[in-house]
Amino acid sequence: MKRNSINPNACSEDSKKRKMNQLESSESSSQFSIENTQLEIVHLFDFHTDEEFSTNHIMEKFHYKMRSRPLVPFSLNFELIQTFGTEAGGFMDYGDTKNFIVHACYATISHKLNLVLICDPYFIRGRILTFDLITRQFSKSIYLNSPRCMCIEKITPANRSLHNEEYLIVSCKDGLFKFDVKCLLETYSQKKSLIWKNDYYKHPNIISSMDIMYASSKHRQDDNWIFMCNLSMDECVVDILNARTGQCISKISDFSHPPHGIAVSNSERFVAVVESKGSSIRIFENSEKPTSMNQRDLPMTNHHCEWKYVREISFNEDMFQGCYIQRLLAYDEVSKNLIVCDNCRHLLSVYNAVGGHLVKAHQTTDTRSVFSFSEYSLPHAICLNEYTGELLVGNMEKGQIQIFK
């Protein structure tokens, strides 16, 4: 019986042919798949640009929370954890003049530069002291003519594409200024770092308090608003300025007495004001409807800045009602609480902005007497570090800044 012999070369050639066919087949199917994929590309068009809808506002809140560091509320424990400033600890003892604070009347924080800024209008002609936010060590001084109050225009997700710096808006005897704060600290040149100046707010016009509200989806990205309590005796108003230009664009005038303290909510979009006389916090809201997307780049009109009185939070007290009281405000975006610094009664009070009730009060002296002095008396400047939950309070008697946790 004969057996068929198998040629190994032929077998190898058949194997190669099969592999080649498989490769050609896979290439053909791959090309077909690519062609099909190209044919399946879908182009999406937005047909809602001319309609008024709130989706953008919701997405803006979502992106803000995703990109921002988590906020920490104030604990309400009023635990004094640290003190910095005048090391000598005496009102008339100058000690180290670098750290010495005569009158800490206002405070704010630059998170980009990690600095605490303190207004001291009575040190010689006046200055702003800066301290390291972490170590509390003195950093530098900015010499201005009697700085009274200030705020920092921060970098937000909405305006990050427009600028990557923080700006200092400060009220002095010489007027209202906006500086590039980093340039100001590095060069010591007010001329180089100056963005704008408003001469209308020169002395005798006095700004007692200010805060900034950032542009929402309804407005241009660079249309942030500065709210300022104007202590002019001619009119009882809160002036609203465009932070980009420094020009007054509107006013809130629904007051019986000159407004003294102010705080804004960038999440709830309201303005809280406490008068120099009276016994309540007045809340104002913007009545504007959502703006369509194709109107966002239009110039801002006065209608955009119409703020209406909506409710008040009563202090439920008659004491000092007819007296001039220096009260300042800070708002906690997480707990929705308003923190009131009462210089006259040596008191720190916390009110819920939603319910309007008193949450907690912390007496900074052991007596309600105005003429009594103690370690914690005469609270004045107040500032909340929203990323640590620390409350910074200026001690007017000691010339120090106290940190409560």
Per-residue tens of pLDDT for the chain, all 405 residues:
445 454 555 555 566 556 566 555 555 554 544 444 444 554 544 444 444 434 555 554 554 555 567 999 999 999 999 999 876 444 444 445 777 888 889 999 999 999 999 999 988 899 999 999 999 999 999 999 999 999 999 976 565 555 678 999 999 999 999 999 999 999 989 999 999 999 999 988 889 999 999 987 665 666 899 999 998 767 889 999 999 999 999 999 989 888 999 999 999 999 999 998 878 999 999 876 544 444 444 455 554 568 999 999 998 765 556 666 778 999 999 999 999 998 877 889 999 999 999 999 998 765 544 444 444 456 678 999 999 999 999 887 778 899 999
Task: Show the tokens assigned to 333.
Answer: 């975006």
The span from the CA of 276 to the CA of 127, in Å, is 25
Q: Choose among 297, 274, 289, 195: nearest CA to 241.
A: 195
Q: How far apart are CA 391 and CA 207, in angstroms?
A: 23
Bridge partners, residue 271, by sequence: 264, 284
Please classify residue 2 by burial: count the beta carbons closer than 10 Å to its beta carbon, then call 0-12 exposed, 13-18 middle and 19+ buried.
exposed
What residue has token string 């400047």?
381
pLDDT for the residue numbered 204: 82
| Amino acid 101: pLDDT | 87
The closest of 110, 111, 97 to 143, measured between CA atoms, is: 97
Q: Given this model, what pLDDT does residue 69 score?
A: 78
pLDDT of the residue at 15 = 61
The Cα 99–Cα 121 span in angstroms is 14
SS3 307: strand
Cα dist from 306 to 10, 207, 283, whole Å: 92, 21, 13
Which residue in 377, 390, 323, 319 sits closest to 348, CA to CA?
377
User: Taking Cα atoms as reference points, which of 62, 236, 91 lies closest to residue 158?
Assistant: 62
User: Do residues 27 and 264 touch, judged by C-beta distance below 8 A?
Assistant: no
Task: Give the up-direction half-sphere exposure of residue 289: CA atoms within 13 A in the CB hemisphere.
Answer: 5
The reported pLDDT for the residue numbered 116 is 97
Residue 272 host element (H or E): strand 270-275
Q: Which helix (H) or strand (E) holds 385?
A: strand 379-385
